[in-house]
Structure 1
Amino acid sequence: MKSRSVIHVTGAMNMGGTERMLMTLLRMKPPWKSIFLTYGTGTGTFDQEIKDLDGEIRTIPNPGSLSDHFQLFRTVKPAAVHAHTLFQSGIPLAAARAAGVPIRIAHAHTTADPSDKKGRFIYEKLMRASIALSATDYRACSSAAGNYLFAGKSFEVMPNLFDPKQFKRPPEAEVLRLKLKYGWTDKLVLGSVGRLTKVKNHAFMLDMLSELHKQGIKAVLLVVGDGDQLKTLRRKAEELSVAELVTFTGAVEDPSIYYHLMDVFLMPSLFEGLGIAALEAQASLTPVLGSEALQPEADLGGGLLYKLPLEAGSAIWAEKAISVATDSHKGTSDPVAVPPEEVLKHYYQLYRWKGGGHEQKTADYII
């Protein structure tokens, strides 16, 4: 009997864009068993929901251990290993090849590596070589992400999976209730959703808030998510005297309601593979003000995506946020996203699974 499982190599199932995408896939209840390979000992935001949906979490303490990966793959015997961890993907994919896993996928989700460790160039070169040798399939969330990780190899851009219906506007009474709870009925609400990392540039958002505060604009910042920058951001908010204007929600499993509390969604990222939170915001009909790091694939075509270079500075960004919030012409057409049912067909094809309307007729095995 052929294996009916797919192992996703993710690092940890917290509320990053890739993780939220994979949770959307799991919630669609595909016929294969989804196993998430994480590293370390921490508990992820989605761990309990994964178990509730009959998914499974496997943990390896050391992400650099070829032998640990090999033993896991030999034990589980998955039909596919789908790696989402940038250069580190070279390790699980090499182990999967040695363990005889037939489908080994490298999936690019970003356009840069934030690590500044010594010897990183050598590591990246080795991992690129391992990916090239070990992967059977190459996928990317955007052209830029694929060009970055695969460096000249052929790859396919795969539509990002998210359910636009999840982000439709809730009853107005629910939105008003939350705005009253936070005291935001007369405030300009700026916001973000995602992991609190340097790459997402939340410090810049605080600078914007400070600029608005100096101008006497009644503005607040809603930060949805958790991450290693939380203490640093709290400290910076205190230094800028805007701490009372910032709400940190911590990690949440379903951020959809929060988009509807925002007048402008901020994404001043240093780099992005795509910017899946930008898709979610547009699906919520919330305008997005982002950096030029947002990829063309992040624009759903509804007139809700605005871009500025980071070099313009926080004062110009603050002015633009006011302009975007009051733009009567924003969102003049409906955003158009690829329906999740259509994206799911790509996964059927990728995993060589019969069904879903997109099977590979030449596949000699069925998962």
Structure 2
Amino acid sequence: MIKVLVFGMTETPGGVESVIMNYYRHIDRTRIQFDFLCNSYEKVAYEAELLALGGHTFHFPARSKNYPRYRLELKCFFREHAAEYAVIWVNICSLANIDYLKLAAQYGIPKRIIHSHSSANMDGRLRGLLHQHNKKQIGRFATDFWACSAEAAGWFYPSEICSQAVILHNAIDVQCMAYDENGRENIRRQLGWQNQFVIGNVGRLHFEKNQRFALEVMAALVRKDRSVRLVLVGQGEDESELREQIFRKGLQEYVYMAGVQSNIRDWLSSFDLFLFPSVFEGLPVAAMEAQANGVPVLASEDVIPDEVRMNKNIKMLSLQQPPEIWAEAVCEMKEWFVRENPEDIWEHFIQSGYEIEHVKDEFEQRILGEKA
């Protein structure tokens, strides 16, 4: 059995965390075992499950909070433990910090995978500059270059590396996200929204996910139809600002902020429409899970790549269109868009290569070095 050191788990369950967990749950753990570097002293998402599956978590401070201690603890860890690992798998959305790869190279971890999960800068100007600087030298420290999509590879890597990058699908467990009638009824009963048209969004509360625009759409919708409701599932930096926006627009009766939820299948099942107005994505896991559930999706143009539009009940709109146009689109979809048939969904995911049981073998082969 080989041991893999994984970076990418944070305190908040999001898209990257879901990708890591989907592969970890389905690989042959008698051949491959994961341990996790966590840049927080708090428990990370799914930590209890990580430990139950046989992994270990190693916590250290975030670089931004205590840089001297971060450097000291990280260097001590690699000096003492690097020899235990054949592979490091670094899952990030920006190259602003590649210390993990540098130390892995310095202390002799032979296979060093960098995995891009975004197609644009999600952070501020400084981190954007750091990304561009490290982009020029990433080839010195990583041995393998992965990305969730061609767009993510193109933004992340210099051209000479981009051409050799491996596109590894953000595959999901379709059955785990399949529509569940009992889950739908339970959530809607809890909310007291059994007879409402419920719109949902799942994701980190962050400008990239554009929940602020979703609230603008909701304000326009309420003027047309007071039976609509919106659920925002997730947490993040924009939470207080979004709450203020809800209050300012008088949407308290119409919007529910659910926070972090573990039963995403039930929440997706409770939705009548999935609203996905992201500014940009690498490859949107939340939209993939929504499609696995079969719920109709209204998304911003060019965010869900053509190859991962699994279902027919998806409508795309430009973010250049005002919220009122998005509200009209919701009203139209309310009239005639229905949930996709589960058997069709299953076939779509398998044929497209995004069902985890059908792609985990390739992942294992790449980790083990059995596939170039």
Give the structure-2-normalised TM-score. Answer: 0.88
Structure 1 residue identity aligned to 2:132 = K
Aligned to 1:105: 113
The DSSP-based 3-state class of the residue aligned with 1:272 is coil
Aligned to 1:137: 144
1:30 paired residue among 16, 22, 28: 28
Matched, 1:60 2:70: no
Contact 1:5/1:33 (<8 A) preserved: yes
CA RMSD of aligned residues (A): 2.2
Cα deviations by residue, 1:166-213 (Å, 9 ceiling, x for unpaired): 01122x344223323312222121111121111111111111111111
Cα deviations by residue, 1:55-90 (Å, 9 ceiling, x for unpaired): 221122144756644432332231111111221452
Q: Partners of 2:123 and 2:73 in 1: how far apart?
A: 24
Aligned to 2:167: 157
Aligned to 1:42: 42
Contact 2:7/2:91 (<8 A) preserved: yes
Identity among equivalent pairs (%): 25
Aligned to 1:365: none
The DSSP-based 3-state class of the residue aligned with 1:36 is strand
Aligned to 2:361: 345
Give the structure-1-normalised TM-score. Answer: 0.89
Structure 1 gaps of 5+ residues are: 354-358, 363-367
Aligned to 1:201: 210
179-188 vs 57-66, which moves further: 57-66
Contact 2:7/2:90 (<8 A) preserved: yes
Matched, 1:312 2:317: no
Matched, 1:229 2:244: no
Aligned to 1:147: 154
Inter-CA distance 216–351: structure 2 relative to 1 (3 Å threshold): closer
Matched, 1:90 2:90: no
Structure 1 residue identity aligned to 2:305 = P
Structure 2 gaps of 5+ residues are: none
Cα deviations by residue, 1:135-184 (Å, 9 ceiling, x for unpaired): 111111111001000131221111112100001122x3442233233122
205-214 vs 175-184, which moves further: 175-184
Inter-CA distance 156–295: structure 2 relative to 1 (3 Å threshold): farther
Contact 1:212/1:218 (<8 A) preserved: no
Kindly report which structure 2 residues correspond to 1:255-266, keeping only aligned pairs within 5 A, or say none.
255-266=264-275
Inter-CA distance 119–324: structure 2 relative to 1 (3 Å threshold): closer
Q: Partners of 2:315 and 2:337 in 1: how far apart?
A: 14
Q: Partners of 1:90 and 1:317 in 2: how far apart?
A: 40
Cα deviations by residue, 1:106-159 (Å, 9 ceiling, x for unpaired): 1111111122234742x2232113322111111111110010001312211111
Structure 1 residue identity aligned to 2:89 = H
Structure 2 residue identity aligned to 1:57 = T
31-40 vs 254-263, which moves further: 31-40
Contact 1:73/1:96 (<8 A) preserved: yes
Q: How many residue pairs are counted as aligned between the two chains?
A: 352
